[in-house]
Structure 1
Amino acid sequence: MGRILGIDYGLKRIGLALSDPLHIIASPYKTISGSDEADILQKLRDIISEESVSHIVVGLPIGMKGQETEQTKLTRVFADSLNCFGLPIFLQDERLSSVSAKKSLIEQNIKTGYNKALIDKRAAAILLQQFMDINQL
């Protein structure tokens, strides 16, 4: 059974999380950056290969009232670009995942002002854990 890759997509940084092989626990993995789509896809291709990823979950930033935003549209385009990997791709509502990530870091006395990358990968882990708690793959 391969791992699940969770992705918190952003224009500046992309937070990544990985499940354990049994799909029980999601852990923050790393943050990648770059605006070049080909470079981002290559980094993801390497991670997918190295970590034996079998599924991808992309956080979908939906507005608090359930409406689609400009970032929602950009994230959908990004998620579509992941079809090149030939893996199942799922979209997960990520409302408040970044807020929850920041709050959990503050509770651990970790400063968040200069740790945006840490927030992004923690947010990816939160949305991936939410997905795994609801879905059995």
Structure 2
Amino acid sequence: MQEIDIYDLPDLVNKNKRLLGLDPGTKTIGVAVSDRDFKVASPVKTIKRTKFKNDAQELKEICADKNIGGIVMGLPVNMDGSEGPRCQSVRTLADNLKRIAGFEIPIVFWDERMSTSAVERFLIGEADMTRKNRAKVIDKAAAAYILQGALDAIQRKIPFP
């Protein structure tokens, strides 16, 4: 799969479409969506991973329901900037969504270093959530954090109208 630069994404997404943010883990996939102006990310849900076919179908349904035109997928880069087995797993997921599940929308990767821990610190400190409640929202909140980082980068690159 040819990698797309995050700054090229707005030109590849049809007008009035949204972006889907994904935080893929081994057991779950956190899901978030953007607004149509690519300014705000909102958490949507956490998908409990089962078989690829089922996961892909659920993502397709979300894409159709939320009018999605592109995907920003969190890439778990190591702290030193290198890519390990988790990055390969995420790249394989993206490739399989395109090749096997037939996703035709662009998929870009966004460095998600520290996203889950940043969200967890917020949920503990600012939101004062219990461990049980944090577990229910951490993945979709991390997906929103990842997507918001990408949206902020896109907005900084695009001149104001």
TM-score between both structures, scaled by the size of structure 2: 0.81
Match of 1:87 in 2: 105
Match of 1:73 in 2: 88
Identity of aligned residues (%): 38
TM-score between both structures, scaled by the size of structure 1: 0.94
Task: Give 5+ residue unaligned stretches, structure 2.
Answer: 1-15
Match of 2:151 in 1: 132
Match of 1:24 in 2: 39
> Whole-Å Cα distance in 2 between the matches of residues 112 and 87 of structure 1?
36
Runs of at least 4 residues of structure 1 off by over 6 A? none
Task: Give 5+ residue unaligned stretches, structure 1.
Answer: none
Kindly provide the CA deviation profile for residues 78-136 of structure 1, in whole angstroms up to 9, marking residues without a partner as x: 01122221001100000000011101111211123553241111110011000011125
| Letter paired with 1:110 | M
- 1:100 is matched with which residue: 83, 105, 118? 118
> Whole-Å Cα distance in 2 between the matches of residues 4 and 12 of structure 1?
23
Structure 2 CA distance for partners of 1:15 and 1:117, relative to 1, 3 Å: farther
SS at match of 1:135: helix
Alignment RMSD, CA only?
Answer: 1.4
Match of 2:130 in 1: 111
How many residues get paired? 137
